[in-house]
Chain A
């Protein structure tokens, strides 16, 4: 079973079940680390039809452990796409109207070049031989995909969390290619506390003896325990104290009394263990290291002499930012500082803070106020872009 699972993950990394765009030696990806990645590949999914004017394309950017399967069944988990509540025929992001593109980020593990991908130079998985990937690298790769479709200007770029970072990077690096931008539950930088949590996760992975310095595939192993612990710790940061208490309280798990041992006495323990265990079935440990590092390195203001407004100077992109009251990973203040920078840059910006106790993960859930805001923003942007309803 373990061997089977390993093989499958490996296969999705090299030969994903979604379309793949391969770039040869003539088209390397320039990395912030100072090297070129070549050859490399991008795995992606599209939904809907690109119109003749190529003006109805929406790029969706996925979060830390997301993938390209945004609006269709995930081939690894068999579960619905991660944003199917929002995207699909007749949904808020209506795929019978818009052409939706979602690609696995560079450094990911579901078909775009990442640490689990076979390094053509060695015939073995890259592991830690892959250079560090940044949010900007991810966006540069996405640009090559967008160019492949001949899309001059994306109607919209949207995403939450790490996806939101990509949205901000898109709007900053390629403003003329982005008509509207929807960064949700995100910030222009990763805070010290966020880096701290990521470091805990990485250390958990690297402390697992099965990690083998990142060369676990060659040993026929995977650092499942370490990755599960990393996921458990991270998962807490995606929720809120209020939501945890509402859902689990101090309820006991399938027992009448405390056992005076270290079993999962409490429901919350059992829940977290389950989250950790299911995560390792679908995600590569090294990829987790690379993804978390990419978020840690993100600091849009630092790239512009410390002045965030300069990251958006002269922008004509229409922005809508969304935050959630109980999100302590990317608190409202992080969004607000982006809003202030956009105001200073004279940008067109809307900003909605949504009251919910569901924490950071609220952006992935059925939140009527979130949907109303996205709907209103997309509808008015579509009118401004001259897209018929």
Chain B
């Protein structure tokens, strides 16, 4: 693990353990589009460790300007509206990390990811996690946790799903799940041998590698 990666990851390690899992799925020199690239953390990580040809799309203009100033190839754009401009299979990998739940039309966005990329990588917070269930079940309130810190009225996350929901959507869109990983509350991978219900209960985040 190189120096750069360590430095970058340490900044935001707590919130974004999924980035490392995503990066591990991408072979060197790939063409990658990161949809919802935020502050460019993943693109920088991929450029430093995998020498990818990386591009980003980000909704917040401030995030974009900072990325471009750091030499990343990023445009301002909306996953719901602007993916249609990209050609079919123009990228080896299209990544949507922690953004699906904030889109207006997750089904359409996922469909576009599968069209643009030879592979799509999607990571999202699992709304089926036991803490979420507990908050709803015992307190009868929308969950506010360290990883989902927003109140219901000001959250950008308008389309939460559980791991099982997501798997269903993939089936509906004719996508093949090439690989799936669930991370527990400590950012540790949950064993592959565990059944879906176990992942759906103990997985706080999930990372899927898909193709169609």
The 8 Å CB contact of A344, one of B53, B70, B85, is B85
Does A274 sit at the interface, judged by CB under 8 A? no
Residue of A nearest to B71 (CB): A380
The 8 Å CB contact of A351, one of B70, B71, B75, B90, is B75
- Which stretch in B60-68, B98-106, B187-195, B203-211 binds the other chain? B60-68
Contact indicator B71/A369 (Cβ below 8 Å): no
Interface residues of B (CB under 8 A from A): 53, 55, 61, 64-65, 67-77, 82, 85-87, 90
Closest beta carbon of chain B to A111's beta carbon, Å: 35
Contact indicator A350/B61 (Cβ below 8 Å): no
A376 in contact with B71 given A344-B87, A348-B55, A352-B65 (CB within 8 Å)? yes
The 8 Å CB contact of B69, one of A344, A348, A376, is A376
Does A361 sit at the interface, judged by CB under 8 A? no
Contact indicator B70/A343 (Cβ below 8 Å): no
Does A45 sit at the interface, judged by CB under 8 A? no
Other contacts beyond A339-B77, A348-B53, A353-B76: 5, CB < 8 A? A351-B75, A352-B65, A353-B65, A369-B69, A376-B71
- Provide the bound-state CA to CA distance between A344 and B67, in Å: 21
Contact indicator B90/A346 (Cβ below 8 Å): yes
A318 in contact with B69 given A340-B82, A348-B55, A355-B61 (CB within 8 Å)? no
User: Across the interface, which residues of A come within 8 angstroms of B74, CB to CB?
Assistant: 350-351
Does A375 sit at the interface, judged by CB under 8 A? yes
Contact indicator B85/A352 (Cβ below 8 Å): no
A379 in contact with B71 given A348-B53, A351-B76 (CB within 8 Å)? yes
Residue of A nearest to B31 (CB): A346
Report A344-372 CB contacts with B as 1/0, cut-off 8 Å: 11101111111100000000000001001
Contact indicator B69/A373 (Cβ below 8 Å): yes
Contact indicator A350/B82 (Cβ below 8 Å): no
A340 in contact with B85 given A354-B65, A373-B65, A376-B71 (CB within 8 Å)? yes
A376 in contact with B70 given A340-B85, A346-B87, A348-B55 (CB within 8 Å)? yes
Which residues of A (155-205) have their CB < 8 Å from a CB of B? none
Contact indicator B87/A349 (Cβ below 8 Å): no
User: Across the interface, which residues of A come within 8 angstroms of B61, CB to CB?
Assistant: 352-353, 355
What are the 5 A-B residue pairs with the smallest beta carbon separation, nearest first? A380-B71, A372-B69, A351-B75, A376-B69, A340-B85
Closest beta carbon of chain A to B69's beta carbon, Å: 4
Residue of B nearest to A381 (CB): B71
Does A320 sit at the interface, judged by CB under 8 A? yes
User: Across the interface, which residues of B come within 8 angstroms of A369, CB to CB?
Assistant: 65, 69
Contact indicator A373/B68 (Cβ below 8 Å): yes
- Provide the bound-state CA to CA distance between A353 and B90, in Å: 25
Does A383 sit at the interface, judged by CB under 8 A? yes
User: Across the interface, which residues of A come within 8 angstroms of B82, CB to CB?
Assistant: 340, 343
- Provide the bound-state CA to CA distance between A383 and B87, in Å: 27
Which residues of A (39-60) have their CB < 8 Å from a CB of B? none
Report A203-226 CB contacts with B as 1/0, cut-off 8 Å: 000000000000000000000000
User: Across the interface, which residues of B come within 8 angstroms of A380, CB to CB?
Assistant: 71-73
Closest beta carbon of chain A to B41's beta carbon, Å: 16
- Provide the bound-state CA to CA distance between A373 and B69, in Å: 4
User: Across the interface, which residues of A come within 8 angstroms of B67, CB to CB?
Assistant: 350
Contact indicator B73/A350 (Cβ below 8 Å): yes
